[in-house]
């Protein structure tokens, strides 16, 4: 039902509050005026019945002009003048001040206030007051020109009571829309305030990362380069320093990638392209890169992936998730450790399982591992992170319709699980 009502009155995005109130008034007026025609005939008011027909046709035309031609302002002006004209005519043929005309003028007065722009208030208010006071004064001075049209007191009471309900209904529609729009506006303001606070928090986090966390590995890379420039390539520690430099460069690249992706997801939103992908084709290139990094720490990085396994996922997002988890596994595993990646079936999903025998996590770290509250930490060789990798991993896994969780024992190692739908 609401769907049809919103169609008839117009969507919030397409029409102003004033336009929607006007459309609602027109719709209700159709039904009321349709009822007024036979009612006025029954009450012995043929002229009022004719005026109701004229008002019905006129209001239908003005509704069409506003709703479908977007000419609300001119429709409103014409409607106000036509309604006042009809009320003036009805006043003289329907018992004047003893009839229902003044109740209609009160309803129109509220409608004018609800629909008109602030700069137009005084014009329409003045029009309403002039009509009301002018009619009353004219009848006072010339009572014989006002026709006493009722056939009895019962007809008079029936006409006035029905007009009262019409007036109340008109005011109720206006108030409903005004209150509803007020609460919507308040909600939008609160949402905008929350968004602004989130963006400011994101900005501050980003500035902190760039100014502090990212500076440290870059400074380390520079130091390594300075040392290499002074060393004899024939020296034994040349290869060691070179391996450390490669590892540090990869870590820095991974950190920068996380920062950029996180910033995009927080500030601009990020699109997702889910499609069937081969896990082996997606994961093995990432694993190969990290195998060279693991070798520098004498860490054995092995994998088991059936080449035919397919999942429904975003390839770039999944690679970022795997990069972050492998990077952490290497970071927190001591020299000579083991890291294993394997894919297991858990219908209707495949589960990517990444296990290490590293230092594991304390309960305090576990509680915040996927949140922005997670503190950046140093690995077994003082590798620096920014506390964003696992937050991004969870966010991107969720966006792909998957699930990520972990098991960890302090001093024994950790296992991460990424579950994705089978394609």
Best CA proximity match to 305, nearest among 259, 342, 263, 359:
342
Which letter does DSSP use for residue 98 in this model? G
Q: Tell me if 301 sits within 8 A of 321, measured CB to CB.
A: no
Q: Which residues contact 116 (CB under 8 A, 6 or more apart)?
A: 18, 76, 123, 124
Span 21-28, average pLDDT: 81
pLDDT exceeds cutoff 50 at 238:
yes
Give the whole-angstrom CA distance, residue 127 versus residue 363: 74
Q: Tell me if 407 sits within 8 A of 414, measured CB to CB.
A: yes
The overall average pLDDT reported for the chain is: 79
Q: Which residues contact 267 (CB under 8 A, 6 or more apart)?
A: 199, 202
pLDDT exceeds cutoff 60 at 186:
yes
Which carries the bigger pLDDT value, residue 99 or residue 255?
99
Burial track 48-58 (b if 16+ CB lie within 10 A, e otherwise): bbbbbeebbeb
Beta-carbon-side half-sphere exposure of residue 338 (alpha carbons within 13 Å): 6
What is the SS3 assignment for 135-152? HHHHHHHCHHHCCCCCCC
Give the whole-angstrom CA distance, residue 326 versus residue 302: 11
SS3 195: helix
| Residue-level pLDDT at 403 | 93
pLDDT exceeds cutoff 90 at 418:
yes
| Residue-level pLDDT at 386 | 45
Give the whole-angstrom CA distance, residue 245 versus residue 241: 6
User: Looking up tokens 């159709």, which residue turns up?
Assistant: 30
Span 174-190, average pLDDT: 67
pLDDT exceeds cutoff 80 at 397:
yes
pLDDT digits (tens, 9 = 90+) for 70-93: 898 899 889 888 988 998 998 888
Give the whole-angstrom CA distance, residue 275 versus residue 420: 12
Nearest-10 Cα torsion for 289, 295, 296, 297: 120
CA–CA distances in Å: residue 365 to residues 90, 352, 368, 400:
80, 22, 6, 25
Give the whole-angstrom CA distance, residue 252 versus residue 247: 9
pLDDT exceeds cutoff 70 at 18:
yes
pLDDT digits (tens, 9 = 90+) for 360-378: 888 888 877 887 655 555 5
Q: Which residues contact 197 (CB under 8 A, 6 or more apart)?
A: none
| Residue-level pLDDT at 30 | 84
Best CA proximity match to 20, nearest among 31, 9, 29:
9
Work out the angle at residue 89's Cα, subtended by the Cα atoms of residues 87 and 91, and round it to the nearest 5 degrees: 65
Which letter does DSSP use for residue 384 in this model? B
pLDDT exceeds cutoff 60 at 236:
no
Least confident of 187-201, 254-268, 398-412: 254-268
SS3 386: coil
Least confident of 15-24, 308-317, 357-366: 15-24
Burial track 285-304 (b if 16+ CB lie within 10 A, e otherwise): ebbeebbebbebbebebebe
Span 351-360, average pLDDT: 93
| Domains of the chain from N-terminus onward | 2-192 (no CATH), 269-421 (3.30.565.10)
pLDDT digits (tens, 9 = 90+) for 100-112: 888 888 888 877 7
What pLDDT band is residue 146 in, cutting at 50, 70 and 90?
confident
Nearest-10 Cα torsion for 257, 260, 266, 268: -130
């Amino acid at each position: 039902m609401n769907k049809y009502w919103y169609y008839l009155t117009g969507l919030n995005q397409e029409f102003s509050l004033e336009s929607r109130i006007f459309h609602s008034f027109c719709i209700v007026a159709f039904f009321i005026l349709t009822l007024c025609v036979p009612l006025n005939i029954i009450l012995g008011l043929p002229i009022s019945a004719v005026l109701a027909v004229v008002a019905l046709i006129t209001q239908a035309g003005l509704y069409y002009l506003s709703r479908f031609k977007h000419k609300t302002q001119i429709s409103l002006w014409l409607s106000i003048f036509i309604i006042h004209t009809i009320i003036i005519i009805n006043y003289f043929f329907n018992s004047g001040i003893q009839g229902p005309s003044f109740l209609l003028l009160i309803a129109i007065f509220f409608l004018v206030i609800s629909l008109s722009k602030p700069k137009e208030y005084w014009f329409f208010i003045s029009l309403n007051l002039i009509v009301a006071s002018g009619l009353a004064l004219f009848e006072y001075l010339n009572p014989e020109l006002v026709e006493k049209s009722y056939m009895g007191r019962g007809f008079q009471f029936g006409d006035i009571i029905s007009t009262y309900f019409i007036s109340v209904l008109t005011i109720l529609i206006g108030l409903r829309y005004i209150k509803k729009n007020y609460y919507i506006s308040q909600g939008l303001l609160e949402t905008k305030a929350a968004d602004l606070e989130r963006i400011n928090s994101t900005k501050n986090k980003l500035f902190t990362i760039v100014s502090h966390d990212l500076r440290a590995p870059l400074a380390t890379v520079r130091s390594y380069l300075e040392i290499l420039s002074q060393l004899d390539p024939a020296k034994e520690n040349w290869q060691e320093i070179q391996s450390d430099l490669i590892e540090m460069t990869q870590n820095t690249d991974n950190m920068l990638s996380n920062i950029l992706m996180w910033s995009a997801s927080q500030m601009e939103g990020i699109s997702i392209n889910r499609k069937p992908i081969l896990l082996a084709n997606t994961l093995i290139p990432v694993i190969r890169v990290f195998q060279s990094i693991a070798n520098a720490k004498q860490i054995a990085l092995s994998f088991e992936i059936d080449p035919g396994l397919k999942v429904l996922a975003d390839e770039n997002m999944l690679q970022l998730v795997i990069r972050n988890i492998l990077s952490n596994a290497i970071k927190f595993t001591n020299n000579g450790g083991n890291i294993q990646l394997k894919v297991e079936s858990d219908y209707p999903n495949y589960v990517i399982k990444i296990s290490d025998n590293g230092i594991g996590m304390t309960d305090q770290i576990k509680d915040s591992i996927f949140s922005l509250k997670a503190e950046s930490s140093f690995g077994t060789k003082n590798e620096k992170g920014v506390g964003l990798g696992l937050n991004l991993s969870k966010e991107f896994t969720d966006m792909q319709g998957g699930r990520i969780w972990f098991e960890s024992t302090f001093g024994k190692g950790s296992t991460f699980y990424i579950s994705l739908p089978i394609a």
